[in-house]
Copies of this chain bind each other. A is one copy, B any other.
Amino acid sequence: MEEVVEGQSGGRRARGGGGAARRAERTAVKQEFTRFITRNIPNFDVLTEEALQIIEHNAETVLEEIGVNFVENPAALQRWRDVGADVQGERVRIPRGLARKLCATAPAQFTQHARNPERNVEIGGKNLVLAPVYGPPFVRTASGGRRYATIADFRNFVKLGQMSKWVHHSGGTVCEPTDVAVNKRHLDMLHAHMTLSDKPYMGSVTERSRCVDSVEMSKILFGADFVDQNTVMTSLVNINSPLTFDPIMMDALEVYAAANQACIISPFIVGGAMAPVSVAGTLTQVLAEVLAGVAYSQMIRPGAPVIFGAFVTSIDMNSGAPTFGTPEAAQITLGAGQLARRLGLPYRSAGAFCGSKLPDAQAAYETANSLNIGLLSGVNFMLHACGWLEGGLVSSYEKYVMDADQLGILHRLAAGIDMSENGQGMDAIREVGPGGHYLGCAHTQANFKSAFWKTDLLDYKPFETWEEEGARDTVALAARRVEKMLGDYQPPALDPAVGEALAEYVAKKKAAEPDAFM
């Protein structure tokens, strides 16, 4: 069973404007949180041993015969030469077996620390850590429609993450705060994660100096010694598929690996565009890319924590649009999980993926397909686990809470089936007998509170009641929940000196250079 702890993560602040009833309601608010998932169920292995060996063999062939490009990065090319790769121009051909051998120093599991130690997460092994959507330039709300995201939206999404009991991680770019200069928005984003949430977070990857800022701000939050000795960030390093490592992303990997901070090394693939149109071909390329990327991380610092990433969608051959929740994406997610486990690395994939423009049935079918497969694929770190809409262009307020509610289902499924004497329930069957009912029996009375996963959102009311209450659909219910969660939100306690130091760092860095919007 998952552990849901009702706790209070910060001091309650008096706020103006509410009446007595409203204050009383707010005082009763409890901020629940749940430990990351530790699976007590098997993974679903779709590839046979023979298929796995073929893909692994082919991936080594890709690395050896075709190679990968490390672009505008002479130091990287020298590192590859030093370990025995064949480097011609920017092309790095890696002898069979070398990359896998270099990967061996990467840990199979690591702890990412949060400023609240109760929120620390273990990434790898049988664990599954859920983090919100990453990257959308737009937001959508039920009342306001679709518009560019702002830093105010960003802070709202961080607050929703802090308030969501099944979400273990505050994430990174929960939306792009487009009203803040490109060269400064990472400061505001990090500041929001560090002050509005006490869950673990991700660092900036969009420029070397921003990675350094991420490390420096983390040192203010955790203490410099602590950051030197512990992993406090997991950041997203995308591979420019096919087979290309671009300089900005390698900068990020280099800064973070050197600082012993974790990176997700993640091919970003729309199948049929950035990888072969076939599942096995895509898996081959994913494996080759991850082998090269992880190997490179271990050249920077052996033992640096990294995650085998796989962001995969298929493509709609009519429109060229990426598609989500498809069977091909599911097969790749499942297969890549097997490859990651054989490589002994934590695995990142899946998410609340959908292509729909609205948080409607299409969005939910696509999302549920991906979430379910993510659980069964052995994913250890699920980015985009809530809030994703429209192919990742939009962070949806309503879908955030809709998805976050569904994440509770993954916790329950992962817990497996209780086979204790109480779980077997033989006393109940004996007590009730043929033709009876279980509602009042002793076993039901003793267990009903925790027996079933409970939604915080969905409607189970009788038709007539539901109709009288306005015949609300899921989006309407979610809009109400968003409003309540943001209203109930209270910031977690933070040492005022740390708060001041963070604010000072942000102000100083912002003042040091002019705004840039490119």
Chain A residues near B (Cβ < 8 Å): 41-42, 44-47, 50-51, 54-55, 58, 61-62, 65-69, 91, 146, 240, 242-244, 271-285, 314-321, 323, 325-328, 330-331, 335, 355-369, 372-373, 376, 390, 393, 399, 402, 406, 409-413, 416-419, 422-426, 428-430, 432-439, 443-444, 447-449, 451-453, 458-463, 466-467, 471, 473-475, 477
Contact = CB atoms under 8 A, between A and B. Distances in A.
Max count, chain B CB within 10 A of own CB: residue among A68, A283, A406, A451: A451
B459 A362 contact: yes
28 contacts: A42-B44, A46-B416, A58-B426, A62-B429, A242-B432, A272-B452, A273-B439, A276-B429, A276-B438, A277-B428, A277-B444, A277-B451, A278-B424, A278-B447, A279-B423, A281-B425, A281-B429, A317-B451, A321-B461, A323-B452, A327-B410, A327-B413, A328-B451, A355-B458, A360-B364, A361-B473, A362-B477, A368-B368
A399 B467 CA distance: 19
A124 B382 CA distance: 36
Contacts of A363: 361, 364
B281 A424 contact: yes
Nearest to A411: B327
Given A412-B327, A451-B277, A61 B357 contact: no
Lowest 3 CB-CB distances: which A-B pairs, in order? A281-B425, A276-B425, A368-B368
A294 to B, nearest CB: 17
A69 B412 CA distance: 34
Contact of A242 (B41, B68, B316, B436): B436
A435 B243 CA distance: 7
Nearest to A363: B361
A356 B459 contact: yes
B418 A276 contact: no
A375 B294 CA distance: 35
A278 B418 contact: yes
A443 B46 CA distance: 24
B474 A429 contact: no
Contacts of A331: 413, 416-417
A389 B275 CA distance: 39
Contacts of A399: 361
B284 A426 contact: yes
Contact of A365 (B146, B406, B417): B406
